[in-house]
Structure formats: C-alpha cells, structure tokens
Chains A and B, each alone.
Chain A
Amino acid sequence: DVKVTQSSRYLVKRTGEKVFLECVQDMDHENMFWYRQDPGLGLRLIYFSYDVKMKEKGDIPEGYSVSREKKERFSLILESASTNQTSMYLCASSLLSSGANVLTFGAGSRLTVL
C-alpha cells in the first residue's frame, strides 16, 4: 500500500524555536506538497515541489521554508515559530503525470506553538 509518512503526529514548541516537519513517501512520486489545515479555512498550500531541489511558493509561504534534497523526502521548516503557526500540517504527494492530480496525504502533524 502506498504511503506518505509524517514523522511527528503531535508537537509542542515555544515561540521562536526552529521547527522541522518531515515527510517521506514511498511511491516514487515527483510532486510533493505541504498544506496547512485550519477550521473554517480548509487546506491552504504553503509550498510544493515537483522535483528534487525544486520548490515553489504556494498561497501562504510567509514564515516557512522547505527542503527537498531527495525525491522521497520533503521537509517543512519554521525558522522562528510563532503562535499563529499553531495548526495541522498535511503533507501530500502525486505523480507528475497523474492527469487528474490525485493526491495521497499523510496523517498530519498537529503543531502547537506556545
């Protein structure tokens, strides 16, 4: 069964800390995504990557960066966490040529910033 694995299900961090959220997929997918999920706002795209070392900003990239050094791994980095970054973070991946853009999601990482 294909999988997207997010390393941490729950994290609690303090304001100003540097936070790493890791995502690994075992499907040899080219595309990987980081979304943020907030009640009443749905999912909002933070960053995506369509190839190793390639990245593009989504709709809300401010305060975040990403790293894709290997095809299977896509990391989201909060350089200096703030309370307004308390949220559920969802990683997803898809095939480059999937046509109808079917995304496979991880289970999510719930981050609380105090």
Chain B
Amino acid sequence: GDSVTQMEGPVTLSEEAFLTINCTYTATGYPSLFWYVQYPGEGLQLLLKATKADDKGSNKGFEATYRKETTSFHLEKGSVQVSDSAVYFCALNDPGSSNTGKLIFGQGTTLQVKP
C-alpha cells in the first residue's frame, strides 16, 4: 500500500544552519504531497504542499519540490531559527480519496534548533 518514509530524528542544528529533512514515498497513483508541522503542545498545521510533479511548495522560508522520478519531497530551509524547533511530518493523500481527504503520514522528524 501507499506509504511515506522520513529520515529518523532527532535533528539538532545551530541557529542559521541549513536544514534538510528527507521524505520519500510509495504510491500507486499521483498523490499530492504535504509537510505538516507540530509545535510543542499544539496540533499539526499545514506548512506547505505540492499537487503535481515538479511543483515547489514554499512557506515561512521552507521549501519542498515534488520529485516524481525519485519519489521524494525533501524539506529544506536555508537558515533555521530557534522558533523552528518542532516535529515535522511528511504526508501524502490517498489518490483514491479525493473526496474523503485521507492522508498517510510519515513517522515524523523532531527538529531542535539551538541558539
């Protein structure tokens, strides 16, 4: 079945460092891809999304490009801040669920940014 695999964390970086969190997926159809972020004590919120191959999603300095040839959607940020410390989830929609909205999530990657 469809699945999402993220790099294992935790990831610990110093402020202003470059961030990459790897995400690869397996899907039989043409899913949309998402990054959600969960700040401490909160629920998940959408960070960015891409709906077709070669689309780039971006928000708050974060970017991810939908790479169909490598089935990847890696999250990047050029200069992280302490406030970016959170858990990041990669997700895809079940291509057969355009009406129900089901998402399949990766394991989550914890990012800790130190001053």
Contact = CB atoms under 8 A, between A and B. Distances in A.
B49 interface: yes
Contacts of B51: 99-100
Interface stretch (B37-45, B69-77, B78-86): B37-45
Contacts of B103: 43, 45, 101, 103
B99 interface: yes
Interface string B2-46: 001010000000000000000000000000101010000111111
Contacts of B100: 31, 48, 50, 56
B58 interface: no
A100 B44 contact: no
A96 interface: yes
B43 A100 contact: no
Given A42-B6, A103-B36, 5 more contacts: A42-B106, A43-B103, A101-B97, A103-B101, A103-B103
